Structure 1
Amino acid sequence: MDNLSLHERHDVYLRRYDNEFALQVLAAILFLVVLMLTGLLGNTLVFYVYAFKFKHSTTRCYILALAVFDLISCVISIPVEITDMRFNYTFGQYGFCKIMRVFVTFSSMSSGAVLVAVAVDRYKKICRPFKGQTTPFVAKVAIMICSLASFILSLPAAILYGSRTVPTDDVNVNGSDCSTADEYIKTPYPLIYNSVQFFVFISSTLSLVVLYSLIWRQVVRQQTFRRSFSAEPNRKRPLKIVVTQRDQTSETNNTSDDFLSSSTEADANKASKDTKSPRNSRTAIELTVNPKLEEGGCCSATTSKSAKLSAGTKSKGPHNMTKSSSTSSPRQKGQKTTFMLFLITLVFVLSFLPHLGLMATRAANKHVFDDLRGTAMTAYNLFLRSYFINSASNPIIYSFCNEHFRRELYRLWRKLKCRV
């Protein structure tokens, strides 16, 4: 020991502190190791199955993007955090500390941004099914925009983060942690950056809550309507018939055993050929479904100059309407997919709350966590990295919610088993 240089003595002294700290936070390190291995295996399987076994769609694009960001977390971000806890007193002295913080911030923010795009896509599919929908190309563009915006917002981490001095019992020896750099720790910039991140998180969370609330309301309305319709199939349902003639408009009520579907217009056009006459060439009939039924998932149909009525005559009976199949397999699959994506979003938001809470507290009081020891130190380091739960949980959610995904995993397992 006496033959060691001053620099080597410092290294030996700090390594002892590294070992002591690592023992204190061993539970947090092991937890991150489990998340890393689970997420690495799970997201690799997700990427393989969705890339090669699923048809091209917007949902496939978004899930592949989430799998890539989660893999970045499992391959780069989590190992960096484990190394930071293992060498808490020496890791900050290495130059790649800044670059690693950018990767950690980028992967997390990109996942959140893509989940907002997913919520918008599900809202359009469930609540606006007859308007323009997101195509796979538009989904890829949205993913690129989310990635670029997240990268730009992550760049300040390369400046603000770096070597932070960690005191030891020896006043002549200080450690170096990879955290907010010493030159910025007493400036308002870390607080501003954390405030921007917190604002982005709150804005995204509120957007997700609003969108999924609207989706949930629409799904409940559709289910309520389908139950009421199947329970009383012979109940008369009012249709509003507006007869427009050359010089007057009269409004009457009629009833029909069925409700309008997408084939109504074609049926009305066919009927108009049989009843067409020069007398009533300017007479039109407009059929609309009761607004309550329309909210329940039925689309209203309007036939203009398609179902002709003879002037001065009455309709002999209700028109033949084709019943739409409101309960269909694609609809059920769409609702299951929506529920799966909602669970992914919920886990993402909940996993970020402990981290943001600690960051906000530390930004308000920079030294509030400096004197933690034992279990408190372990809990602090665990909750500070709580957002990594999201990277490992997504494949588990896919397995529980997607039967096709489970089936492909089982086939893959059988192939591997047969080869062995």
Structure 2
Amino acid sequence: MTTLAPASSVTVENNSTFSALNDTASVSTINEGLTLEEINDAIAKTHIGGAVFVGILMIIGFVGNFHVLLIYTFKTKPSNHRIFILCLGVLDMVTCSIGMPFILVDLRYPLMFYAAAVCKILRFVNYFMCTSSALILLVIAADRYRMICVPLGKQMSQTVAKISCGIAMSIGFAISWPAPVLYGYSEEHTGIGNITGVRCWTEERFKKTKYQAYFNFLLMFIVFGTFAILCVLYALIGAKIFKHKTFKSTVSDSKSVPLSTTGSSKDSSGTKESSIASTENAEEKIEMDSSNTFNSSQKGSSYKLKFTSYDLPWKSTGKIFKIGAKKKEYSIASDNNSGQKEKKKLSKEDTRTRRITFIMFMITLVFFCSFMPHLSLKIVVFMKSNFLKTVSPAGLYLYNTFVWSFFVNNMANPIIYGFCDKIFVRELRSFYGKLPCFSK
């Protein structure tokens, strides 16, 4: 899958793996009479931890993403976040059904992988899925940023969301195309007699070039660049939500004041008094329609004020609603029942927006957290060339296990939906409740 270490660490890692075999109990009897199959099996044993780890992730990810695709395709309403979830679900499903099985075969036959064409295709698939997922996360963050931080601006439509996901995958394709060129038939000397194995790794003609290093550098640049942009976007989103939540709490605790167009003037004694106490006496009248737009008319002129719950928080005060708009305050007489319904509707939309944003943030967080162990181990191997030569057998097993940590993100999304998306949980329970074995 995605190995982000520079190419110069590849040979070191492989040679270290072979050197470490002499210290493992499973191959303590290595001698010149061993065959390639026996050496292959000995090396495969050091990958047991990784194979079990990837196998568990593959099964959980396949089952989970199957349910995600089923429920979000047939049981949810069209929306931007539905498009994003389905795109990520398809990429994760392909990884769990094609990419991970390939890794299991590679771990089982580290020195006997002769299918060069299969190697090229599957290396490309894994790189493409990973890169495309990262770029789609950028599209998701941009959509969430517009929804939360620029609610009055033009929002991303479903058509634009689909096109953006298509562009992200096209860029992922363009970035991943070197993989089938660089990877393929690679001879690997075991260091035991004259026995030479075959790996799915850098092709012979590119081993003495820097193309692999350039490719891995590009991948690292994309990973860290994407991470930086996402950090900035979600920091702005979090700040906006926190500010709105703080303001809303302040308004809730404050004393209710009837809505009125306010102003002040001095009478003959020099004291100040309110110029207008209600909309009936106001020169300016404002009416609210069902689309959250205020139609205002004053002395023959008219204009509209459009707001959302984020930019113009408001509070019911009996039959009056108070809102703030630039330098003036307007009073809007409203029926108490209709006002309460409108308030509940906006509150519900506000909660739903926050919930979706939280889900998308968790997906992004898990994506990058799953890469941290992989990147850390690769950086350690690159910085300390003899790391795998000096590590204990137990350390080698752990390395060969957690170096595949990035596969966690391919199975984690359904779990996130299960904890955070009430609609997904409800439809999942409804689906299994209709089955004979669960309905009894």
TM-score bin (small chain): 0.7 to 0.9
Partner of 1:337: 356
Matched AA of 2:296: A
Structure 1 residue 370 displacement after superposition: 6.5
Matched, 1:378 2:400: no
Local SS of the residue matching 1:164? strand
Provide closer, same or farther for how the CA distance between residues 255 and 169 of structure 1 changes in structure 2, counting only shifts above 3 A.
farther
Partner of 1:143: 165
Aligned mates of 1:256, 1:190 — CA distance in 2: 75
1:221/1:297 contact within 8 Å kept: no
Partner of 1:413: 432
Partner of 1:186: 208
Local SS of the residue matching 1:162? strand
Matched AA of 2:343: S
RMSD: 3.7
Structure 1 residue 254 displacement after superposition: 7.6
Partner of 2:97: 75
Q: 1:399 aligns with which of 412, 418, 423?
A: 418
Structure 1 residue 214 displacement after superposition: 0.7
Local SS of the residue matching 1:328? helix
1:238/1:254 contact within 8 Å kept: no
1:265/1:303 contact within 8 Å kept: no
Matched, 1:126 2:148: yes
Matches within 5 A, 1:296-375: 297=313, 301=325, 319-320=331-332, 325=343, 328-360=347-379, 369=388, 374-375=393-394
Matched AA of 1:399: G
Partner of 1:268: 296
Provide closer, same or farther for how the CA distance between residues 218 and 318 of structure 1 changes in structure 2, counting only shifts above 3 A.
closer
Matched AA of 1:61: I
Q: 1:388 aligns with which of 393, 398, 407?
A: 407
Provide closer, same or farther for how the CA distance between residues 360 and 297 of structure 1 changes in structure 2, counting only shifts above 3 A.
farther
Aligned mates of 2:187, 2:389 — CA distance in 1: 12
Number of matched residues? Answer: 376
Q: Gaps (5+ residues) in structure 1?
A: 1-9, 243-251, 305-316
Q: 1:47 aligns with which of 69, 77, 82?
A: 69
1:17-69 CA deviation, whole Å, 9 max, x = no partner?
A: 22222222212111111100000000000000000000001100000000000
Matched, 1:97 2:119: yes
What TM-score do you get using the length of structure 2 for normalisation?
A: 0.75
Local SS of the residue matching 1:119? helix
Matched, 1:227 2:255: no
2:50/2:401 contact within 8 Å kept: yes
1:199-248 CA deviation, whole Å, 9 max, x = no partner?
A: 11111111110111111111111111111111114258997879xxxxxx
1:126/1:215 contact within 8 Å kept: yes
Structure 1 residue 418 displacement after superposition: 4.7
What TM-score do you get using the length of structure 1 for normalisation?
A: 0.78
2:260/2:276 contact within 8 Å kept: yes
1:268/1:303 contact within 8 Å kept: no
Structure 1 residue 374 displacement after superposition: 2.6
Provide closer, same or farther for how the CA distance between residues 84 and 257 of structure 1 changes in structure 2, counting only shifts above 3 A.
farther
Structure 1 residue 267 displacement after superposition: 5.4
Structure 1 residue 362 displacement after superposition: 5.4
Aligned mates of 1:286, 1:409 — CA distance in 2: 44
Matched, 1:109 2:127: no
Matched AA of 2:72: Y
Q: 2:185 aligns with which of 163, 188, 192?
A: 163
Matched AA of 2:95: S
Aligned mates of 2:94, 2:44 — CA distance in 1: 24
Matched AA of 1:395: P
Provide closer, same or farther for how the CA distance between residues 220 and 354 of structure 1 changes in structure 2, counting only shifts above 3 A.
same
Aligned mates of 1:256, 1:191 — CA distance in 2: 73
Structure 1 residue 385 displacement after superposition: 1.8
1:119-175 CA deviation, whole Å, 9 max, x = no partner?
A: 000111111111111111111111111111101111101111123333224331111
Aligned mates of 1:189, 1:167 — CA distance in 2: 22
Matched, 1:57 2:79: yes
Provide closer, same or farther for how the CA distance between residues 392 and 265 of structure 1 changes in structure 2, counting only shifts above 3 A.
closer
Provide closer, same or farther for how the CA distance between residues 257 and 34 of structure 1 changes in structure 2, counting only shifts above 3 A.
farther
Aligned mates of 1:221, 1:138 — CA distance in 2: 29
Provide closer, same or farther for how the CA distance between residues 80 and 239 of structure 1 changes in structure 2, counting only shifts above 3 A.
farther
| Structure with more contact order per residue of length (Cα contacts < 8 Å, sep ≥ 6) | 2
Matched AA of 1:406: V
Task: Pick which of 43-52 and 164-173 moved more.
Answer: 164-173
